[in-house]
Amino acid sequence: MRIYNLFPLLAGKFNQWEPHFERAVEMGFNWLFVNPVQRTGHSGSLYSIADYFGFNPLLIDTTSSLSESEQFKAALTAAHKLGLSVMIDLVVNHCAVDSPLVTKEPQWFLRESGNVQHPYCVENGEKVYWYDLAQFDHQHSADSEGLFKYITSVVEHLIALGIDGFRCDAAYQIPKRLWSRLIVETRRRHPTVVFVAETLGCTADQTRDTATAGFDYVFNSSKWWDYRETWLLEQYNLTREIAPSIGFPESHDTKRFYAETGGNEAAIRQRTLFTFLFGTGSMVPIGFEFGFAKALHVANSRPEDWEAANLDLRDFIRRINDLKMTYQVFREECPTQVIEFDNRNVLGLWKGSTQSREEALIILNIDVHDRQVFYVDTLRRLMQAQAPLKCVSPDNPLPHVHEPFHYELRPGEALVFVTER
């Protein structure tokens, strides 16, 4: 899965999406992830859905002769013609507090002192509530079957419109039994539909437990790794035999990486390559390829927020995606080991495919400001096969791999090698 996240509020109306589809294909992506397109509640947040079967008026061309659903279907058809599959957010942990469902189906919701309960997160030991949301009671609802059937009807509706998969929002906050049943029953009718668990902010054990519900993919935390601590590989090994993972250098939930790094292109290229090659899948949000600095906002983003390009990563992203398409070792959750060198600013990462004879070695300059010297008598001894290596780096591939190997890595630079056992 190579995913381009089309953020609706920035992309504009449905009939304005196709140029973004074309750019995604040019960069080597084969999936689109679209955030919610349904009618929202008073807050305007995409994740505060008031009507699961209606559409956000900001995305509708009121001058079109097509109905709202036909406009959406036309956009999906255009994506499919370009070879893109499309997944959409499935938001069923909560709905808008002003959704008609709150009064029509009061037994579906969590209550606190008689009032509808709002979801919350804990920041610095304090509960932060989302007052525009009403939380569904999946655990103890007096009409849990009715709630489940409603969610199923939402899924069937979206599939009928042309959706190929679902990114299941806040998946770990919803009982595993609900996901297991939903996935199994949906696949009986639609065997190729994909379910991806959104696991941002949960623990490794929560990610593992969620993955066992039958999800096709989970998201990994490679974005946040400092290239030194052991936690990323520990998390990876907990889930890699259960569900493949998707890495990303930024998402619609995070700051823009361009802003986060102060516009350091070396750091951006480094993190992009690492997150793309670490796990099975990869994802970037719209605008990442141009170094956009303004964070996406679930309520306030607009097409007018489209920025002038600070940089252009399109060819670089395409070359990394080409690596994923060409080599099986970059398309699976394979055994992965960190290799330490005398120069602690240089990271070695070995990957060995379990589905092919391929091995890969990534030599990464952790330092995004200064060059670092790397020396080893032979790279082959770092591989199982100890066979000759081919350099396939997306930037500055080496025509020959010399022995002994001596190289001065540019800031943030990565060398990527492959061989066969």
CA 309 to chain centre: 22
Whole-number average pLDDT of the chain: 95
> Whole-angstrom Cα distance, residue 242 to residue 236?
10
- In whole angstroms, give the CA distance from residue 419 to residue 378: 14
How far is the C-alpha of 36 from the C-alpha of 38, rounded, in Å? 6
pTM passes above 0.85: yes
pLDDT mean over 78-104? 97
Beta pairing class for 372-376 and 346-352: unpaired
pLDDT tens profile 101-133: 999 999 999 998 889 999 887 777 888 888 999
Share of the chain above pLDDT 90, in %: 91
pLDDT digits (tens, 9 = 90+) for 298-335: 999 999 999 999 999 999 999 999 999 999 999 999 99
Query: Residues of the chain with pLDDT > 70: what percent?
Result: 100
Please report, for the chain, the start and end positions of each structural domain, with discontinuous segments joined by +: 2-326, 336-420
Rounded CA-CA distance 201/230 in Å is 18
pLDDT given at position 386 = 82
Within 13 A of 129's CA, how many CA atoms are on the CB side?
A: 9
Query: Can you give the pLDDT at residue 387?
Result: 85
CB 142 within 8 A of CB 108: no
Q: What is the DSSP string of 82-150?
A: TT-EEEEEE--SEEETTSHHHHH-GGGB-EETTEEPPPEEEETTEEEE-TTEEEB-TTT-TTHHHHHHH
pLDDT above 80: residue 88 = yes
Eight-class DSSP state of 103: H
Per residue in 58-77, pLDDT (tens digit) is: 999 999 999 999 999 999 99
User: Using one digit for the tens of pLDDT, what is the confidence trace for 3-49?
Assistant: 999 999 999 999 999 999 999 999 999 999 999 999 999 999 999 99
Fold of 336-420: Immunoglobulin-like (2.60.40)
pLDDT at 398: 94
Average pLDDT over residues 229-257: 94
Residue 346 has pLDDT above 90, yes or no: yes
> How far is the C-alpha of 200 from the C-alpha of 364, rounded, in Å?
26
**Close Cβ partners of 378 (under 8 Å, ≥ 6 residues apart):** 403, 404, 405
Compute the distance between CA of residue 135 and CA of residue 116 in angstroms, rounded to an integer. Answer: 7
DSSP 64: -
2-326 has which CATH code? Answer: 3.20.20.80
